[in-house]
Structure 1
Amino acid sequence: MEFRGIIFISFLFLLLGVDSNAFPMNDLITKLPGQPHVNFRQFAGYIDVDENVVGRSLFYYFVEAEKDPMAQPLTIWLTGGPGCSSVGDGFGSVGPFIVTKDAHALQTNFFSWNKVSNLLFIDSPIGSGWSYSNTSSDYNNGDDSTNKILLSFMQKWYEKYPVFKSKDLYLAGSSFAGHFVPNLANALLDNNKESKQSKFNLKGLVEMINSSLYNEIKKECNVIDENNYFSNIKTTWSAKCKNLTYEANLAAFKTDAHNYSPQKLFDVFCAPCTENEQDLNLGKQVPKVSTEVDMCIPLRVQFYFNLPEVQKAFHGNRTNLSYRWKGCFTASFKYNEADKNLDMLPALQNLLQQSIPITIFSGDQDGIIPTMGTLQHLKKLAEELNINLTKEETWSFSNKEGGLKYEFGDLLKFLTVKGGNHHVTSSRPSQAFSIFKIFTINWMH
């Protein structure tokens, strides 16, 4: 199983002698276009991740907590894809602002995670958002190269913001960040063992078809032993297997080949956004709300980030890229196909074996990474570690059912989010914030 989902990880840096006034004021954002007034500061810019390679830089956006930022933890947000912009994703999910319906301004996000934490968004890997390299081979990304660059970024970001070396650190991410976050967590632990210069107190991690068709798929697509999730063998699916799984998608979404859209996988029930940037150029409002989910947020974010005044305010696009900013998958971006199918449960097992608590949540309308598949593999992971399922119950949100909660011993929690799709933080932002606050920060303290 390739593991994807919402994942939280926390660290504590035990370093003394920090200058609390050390902030890179050249990266201070005066005000973003169309932004409402706020009392917290924002910073954005580039971190050169390798002093031996000129022009290898990751772009970041940092937001102070709403209240008393020096007393709050730091949360890093990574978006998946791979190849999507974490910075852009922040303007449709966990960041302090949401792009307005006409995409020319911003409005307050009442469920921003900076209500309880400082936030740092990193465009990673190279080629995502405004992160770039002058070396063309750097755009051939994979899990290992991404992890090494992220580790270097963190070390150099703390040189720029040394005050945060003494703060709790949470790592969070969605979708393919289910690769990035556990890998980075293990890299930080390994780095701590090697350098012995800083101490990381890792507190935890926060990530329909009929039976006859199912049996056909099991028979034809049986090259992987699901009980052996340590397998890293690259799989080649047969044509018959591919046809059966495509047929399964059509059955699951009650549609035919003519009307089927892969975008439906992100949300089983909501139709994808069909509007375009030309509508926004004409000054139209472009929302598409279905079951309380606005499916056109990514389109509006993409339009906003391509406004010249926005790029200037962000200190972004310093290389004047030859292509327009895209939320995901720029033309130059590449990612190792074998890495996309690597199983991440061994990385999670390694963290659990070091007594690191893990909380994962998943939308129950996600057709890409269905909740039941995730639950089955987590049960297998717990079984391998002799951890029992100790609690299975609903969890409450605003006096309503938020979803289902499974607890495996004291270390592993899995929550489903009722009505949430692949992007829980944008489809059910209030529930996602509640999980972050109650089941992550409060639980780990």
Structure 2
Amino acid sequence: MEFRGVIFVSFLIFQLGVNSNAFSMNDLISKLPGQPDVNFRQFAGYIDVDENVVGRSLFYYFVEAEKDPLTQPLTVWLTGGPGCSSVGDAFGSVGPFIVTKDAHGLQTNILSWNKVSNLLFIDSPIGSGWSYSNTSSDYNNGDDSTNKILLTFMQKWYEKYPVFKSKDLYLAGSSFAGHFVPNLANALLDDNKQSKQSKFNLKGLVLGNPMLRKKLDDIAKIDFFFSREMINSSLYNEIKKECNAIDENNYFSSIKTTWSTKCKNLVFEADLAAFKTDAHNYSPQKLFDVFRPPCAETEQDLNLGKQVPIVSTEVDMCHPLRVQFYFNLPEVQKAFHGNQTNLSYRWKGCFTANFKYNEADKDLDMLPALKNLLQLSVPITIFSGDQDGIIPIEGTLQHLEKLAEELNIKLTKKETWNFGTKFYEGGLKYEFGDLLKFLTVKGGNHHVTSSRPSQAFSIFTSFTIKWMH
């Protein structure tokens, strides 16, 4: 017994040692401008992602879990676009703070996912947020190059924070992260096979409104419009007849599917009819949230000291604008250890001038990547807002039914799901076998984590972390 006690004490000392030393204290954020006091630490900085080239770096923001970070899992959050900043997204969705009305300060996000997990936000690909390269060709991104760089980032981040290597790891993200997250998950599992050292302890994926089969999502928009009586049946039937170049069973991203001119014209006619507008006044932005008006304010309003409203019909439509303003304040950049190379462009939430992405990769079929993960027993939770016209629930459900069919998995449960202490109805839940869940979110737009944060938090805690234990 005495021998075991000595081992335990040594283990305890080792653990305490790890606790204080295993963090990159150079990257510790002392305090962000206008930030309320908190009891957890934040870190931010750059990770070089090439052995041979100095000056190819991804920027990250790491937030400890509110309680007992060393006993909590690590969740990586990747935002879509492609070309949007995950770090910026943290400040209007799942991170610990929300930018205030005047965009000069922060308020606590009571629904931050760091209540149940450590959070790591990565600006990826190169050219998103403060991630940069001194080689201009690195700004030409695609699925493969992005994935290679993310894998290198993860390996090097764990070298910087080794205590997290053994922790449960969840990969999460929204929109085009439907490509980034499954690709990274497969890369981590491949690396586990090749590496004799410690392994990535991947426990599951959680994806919001993910792009999985873009060409079909573009057409699913028509089903979405029709199911909500936004277009009439004759236009709907005409489009279904004319735009039938591909379906769920012959989705080949390698085949250049060119919609006929008539198909394109009919789809545009449907957009105008759905929003009761004309070509001059139509904005594709409306598709991200088909029932709420986009943010009407501008950065000029913030420069003049005006306050930008935080809520419009229960949803904060202006948070990206406030985040963009906040991240361009010099004192904010300094506190973040960001923009250390004085980039030639302003910080933007999405799509800096230098950023490019291979258009063909946007059409790639992500079902094989998901299929591989499910065959390796990795649980996947997908959630979608039912007011998203960009990647509508109609399309995502069809993709998942196709995926289940290929794996010979049956739909084992379809029911409403509830959230919160009063058990409000969240939407519909579909369970395919033991590993795949799809949840619709009532009233959620393309960004469920912003438009329905309570539901998103509940999905993460109840249907991701607790479900997978």
- The residue that corresponds to 1:66 in the other structure is 66
Q: Does residue 57 of the first structure (1) align with residue 57 of the second (2)?
A: yes
Shift, 1:371, TM fit:
0.5
1:377-412 deviation per Cα after TM superposition (whole angstroms, max 9, x unaligned): 111111111111111110012322100000111111
SS at match of 1:149: helix
**Partner of residue 215, structure 2:** none
Q: CA deviation at 1:224?
A: 1.6
Residue in structure 2 matching 1:403, options 427, 446, 452: 427
The one-letter code sitting in structure 2 at the alignment partner of 1:265 is L
Aligned-pair identity (%): 88
TM superposition score normalised by structure 2: 0.89
**Residue type of the partner of 1:408?**
F
Which secondary structure state, in structure 1, belongs to the residue aligned with residue 440 of structure 2?
Answer: strand
Aligned counterpart, 1:134: 134
User: Deviation at 1:201?
Assistant: 4.3
Matched with 1:5 is none
- The within-5 A match list for 1:35-114 is 35-114=35-114
Give, in whole Å, the separation in 2 of the partners of 1:199 and 1:86: 25
Offset from partner CA, 1:89-118 (integer Å, 9 cap, x none)? 000000000000010000000000000001
Distance in 2, Cα, partners of 1:278 & 1:19: 47
Aligned residue number for residue 458 of structure 2: 434
SS of the aligned residue for 1:166 comes to coil
Work out which of the two has the higher radius of gyration on C-alpha atoms and give 1 or 2: 2
Q: Distance in 2 between matches of 1:203 and 1:115?
A: 18
CA distance in 2, matches of 1:288, 1:70: 34
- Kindly indicate whether the alpha-carbon contact (under 8 Å) linking 1:229 and 1:346 is maintained by their aligned counterparts in 2: no
Match of 2:345 among 315, 323, 328: 323
Q: CA RMSD in A?
A: 1.5
Residues 288 and 161 (structure 1), Cα distance of their counterparts in 2 relative to 1, 3 Å cut: closer
Separation in 2 of the partners of 1:69 and 1:202? Answer: 18
1:230–1:346 CA contact under 8 A, matched in 2: no
Separation in 1, partners of 2:391, 2:82:
15
Instruction: Tell me the alpha carbon deviations over residues 108-166 of structure 1, each in whole angstroms, 9 at most, x when there is no partner.
Output: 00000000001110000000000000001000000000000000000000010011012
Structure with more relative contact order (C-alpha pairs < 8 Å, separation 6 or more): 1
- How far off its partner does 1:38 sit? 0.4
Q: Check if 1:304 corresponds to 2:326.
A: yes
2:233 alignment counterpart = 211
2:301 to 259, 279, 292: 279
Q: Deviations over 1:255-292 (max 9, x none)?
A: 33233211101101010012111111111111163320
- Are 2:357 and 1:335 equivalent residues in the alignment? yes
Greater shift after overlay, 168-177 or 232-241? Answer: 232-241
Structure 2, unpaired ranges of 5+: 1-13, 208-224, 227-231
Alpha-carbon spacing, 1:170–1:201, altered in 2? closer, same or farther (3 Å): same
* Cα distance between partner residues in 2 of 1:136 and 1:245: 37
Contact residue 386 and residue 441 of structure 2 kept, 8 A: yes
In structure 2, which of residues 286, 289, 306 is the aligned counterpart of residue 267 of structure 1?
289
**Residues 415 and 430 of structure 2 are in contact (CA less than 8 Å); yes or no, is this contact kept in structure 1?**
yes
Verify: 1:352 aligned to 2:363, yes or no: no
1:146 corresponds to which letter in structure 2? T
- What is aligned with 2:250? 228
**Separation in 1, partners of 2:280, 2:419:** 39
1:180 is aligned to 2:180: yes
TM-score, with structure 1 as normaliser: 0.94
Runs of 4 or more above 6 Å deviation: none
The question of whether the paired residues in 2 share the 8 Å contact of 1:116 and 1:437 is answered with: yes
Equivalent in the alignment of 1:3: none
Find the aligned partners of 2:430 and 2:355 in 1 and give their Cα distance.
37
CA distance in 1: counterparts of 2:261 and 2:295, whole angstroms: 31
Question: Contact conserved, 1:273 with 1:288, CA < 8 A, in 2?
Answer: no
Measure, in 1, the Cα distance between the counterparts of 2:311 and 2:282: 20
Report what 2:164 is aligned to.
Answer: 164
User: C-alpha separation between the residues in 1 aligned to 2:378 and 2:24?
Assistant: 33
User: Greater helix share, 1 or 2?
Assistant: 2
CA-CA distance at 1:211 after TM superposition = 3.1
